[in-house]
């Protein structure tokens, strides 16, 4: 890990879907520029559907762990990005005054209902929306 890399910390409620996908995408798209971590207010375990839809686009998150927010990482992050309203509202206090905190809200694909194909399509839509938002971030953060 290089000390000049900016630390991006993705947060959501359970660290099972959205923050895991964002973590995987940023590692795939910009890992040479960033240290990437993700966590949740709780650890719900890695969602197998999130792993599957990321694998479809060549990003392997199967080795990720579902982690609870670490205050030490939180307070040394350059960017703290919440991906759901619940995490945004309940994010612990950050003592680092230089942190950039953003909220990028995405629907929780784990709450999707319907046939397996409809649920998987919802996961894919969220995956693609997160990628698009991260591509914009990478373009803007020069």
**54-83: buried (b, 16+ CB within 10 Å) or exposed (e) per residue?**
beeeebebeebebeebeeebbeebbbbbbb
Beta-bridge partners for 32: none
Residues classed as catalytic = 12, 84, 91
- Residue 138: partners with Cβ closer than 8 Å, 6 or more residues away: 29, 30, 33
Decide if 62 contacts 53 (C-beta within 8 A): no
How is residue 135 written in tokens?
């591509």
CA distance 135 to 133: 5
């Amino acid at each position: 890990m290089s000390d000049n890399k900016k630390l991006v910390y993705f947060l959501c409620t359970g660290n099972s879907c959205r923050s895991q996908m964002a973590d995987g995408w940023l590692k795939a798209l910009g890992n040479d520029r960033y240290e990437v971590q993700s966590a949740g207010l709780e650890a719900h375990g890695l969602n197998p559907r999130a792993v599957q839809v990321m694998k479809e686009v060549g990003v392997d998150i199967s080795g990720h762990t579902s982690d609870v927010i670490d205050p030490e990482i939180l307070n040394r992050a350059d960017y703290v990005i919440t991906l759901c309203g619940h995490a945004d509202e309940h994010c612990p206090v950050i003592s680092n005054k230089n942190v950039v905190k953003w909220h990028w809200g995405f629907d929780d694909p784990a709450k999707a209902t319907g046939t397996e194909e409809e649920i998987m399509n919802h996961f894919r839509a969220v995956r693609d929306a997160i990628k698009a938002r991260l591509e914009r971030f990478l373009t803007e953060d020069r």
